[in-house]
Structure 1
């Protein structure tokens, strides 16, 4: 309860200290006596907007302090004070103070600890309940009739509101799913066409690098084939260097025993024959490795062109085409499975609607019965 109100320099009031006891307290006075000034002052500590016009003329500051006492702090108020790190022991007064300057700036304190004005507004509902002389007119306002009826009937519309939200949520999920399916189906033909292109080509991971390397080797073979052919004729002819070396070696072999120097010459010649033979074998191996097959080169270049053209079309790298193909297959599978998903969402929305209507009918019946009593 409000136990004390202290006012300093508010409008016409220079200083006023009011103490309230238990039971009913009444402030009386003629019109213009200043009763509303007291309410304005109380409003400041309840978080109302700071109006510089409340500051008494000729002063540099106005203040209002209100003291409240509780047998036990209301739970909601205790939570807000705890969030603001304000400790109030049971039985200890809660003192709320507000200072106001002529420029409209204000400061707020709870038990001498600075707080925000928004906290005062949150606390106000736990501290004071204000009623005006025309409050009874709210009884004839149709907007409040259902609330009054529900209070009289002892019903709570929270469960119905939850059922409504669940129905709306299920209905929105169904609408979004239908739109997604329609969009996907519109793209289905295009996906099928793209997938057919990819499936026909069946790109493989790392294929571009392998094809490029093979094409390079075949192009080298094409360039070197003429030179290799000339070398082959040179080494295979009857008067080739290797054949001449072998003939010379045979002749020298017959006369080598006649002199030591001839034997040494024969050894050197034999080594030359061996080296020349190895050179011939390597030339043969190179010719086989660099064989030029125009059809194979054309096939490699054609496939490289097709792979790179398809990658440009889908704005990706050639090595990303296999993954793209798997993604498209997954999208098409999702489209095919979307009908089952839609059926499930339709059933959920229908069930939520039925649950809401049942809750609404039950609440309606209780309201009708209470209205007759009321």
Structure 2
């Protein structure tokens, strides 16, 4: 019976994904992206060796997510994906497997049928890759303008795993050293090796953005999305301006409070704390504590954000300010930018809006300003 090995490529930096944690180590429905990819190959029961390729500086991250899986020590990758795969193949050479499947760690939803189809194809082919047919219309563009439609018949979108006779792929990689090719199939093709296409799966997509991770969570049924709300009120007293959502606005009055009395940031802080069940702003920053007298409320919001990030991701926030004056519209963009800066979010994930109470109540009488806020977060750990 043929002996097969699997190479899981996890040596990327995840620059396109963004964030401080490389995407292959990001939590995904109670596990991690990398671990899910590895476990898919372990579950098949058809691999004698499973080798993971990582960056040297990621060793602690790798150990935290995969040290209990009984795998050999990870192989340290090179400057390019091609270099990383070749390093793994060289490591496997002494084990002399008959075939090898190469898989991107960032495709954690690979299914058993796809793995089996690639392996089965190697019984009669030197190389086989999983792929799905291109179903969308493909446009050629020049300078951002569509310049023609590409005939999509016969076009396939390559995925991983990509399978090869081991000796064939090792020789092809050695011959292609120093070149820049997009995948292992291209390395094989360069040496004249015929690559068979087998059916992949649309869910076997590569995680490259935060939206991809959210999609994967949804498919796994593991997304824990929570919403918190907050409300705050402060009295208006004579002064030289109000601070709302981190922006100072000239005004004949100011908001009275122990800190800078920024009702917008206070309500939003409570919304974030509420989303993770972490109490309220008064518990974290009691008004009886002189340290917070006159404090910038950005510190309160940043603290709440750090508590959320320790467990997951802030998805979006929404603040509504209730007042007759000052007018919020001219300052809205600055408020959105400031909140986004504090929360380290894209401004499109921040909403600030305003309403009046039609001269009714304390806000209508301009005795104070109120704010309500909501925040949605995804819990990952």
Structure with greater proportional strand content: 2
Bigger radius of gyration among the two: 1
Where on the TM-score scale, by shorter chain, does this alignment land: which range?
under 0.3
TM-score, normalising length: structure 2: 0.21
Bigger RCO of structures 1 and 2 (CA < 8 A, at least 6 apart): 1
Structure with greater proportional helix content: 1
TM-score, normalising length: structure 1: 0.21
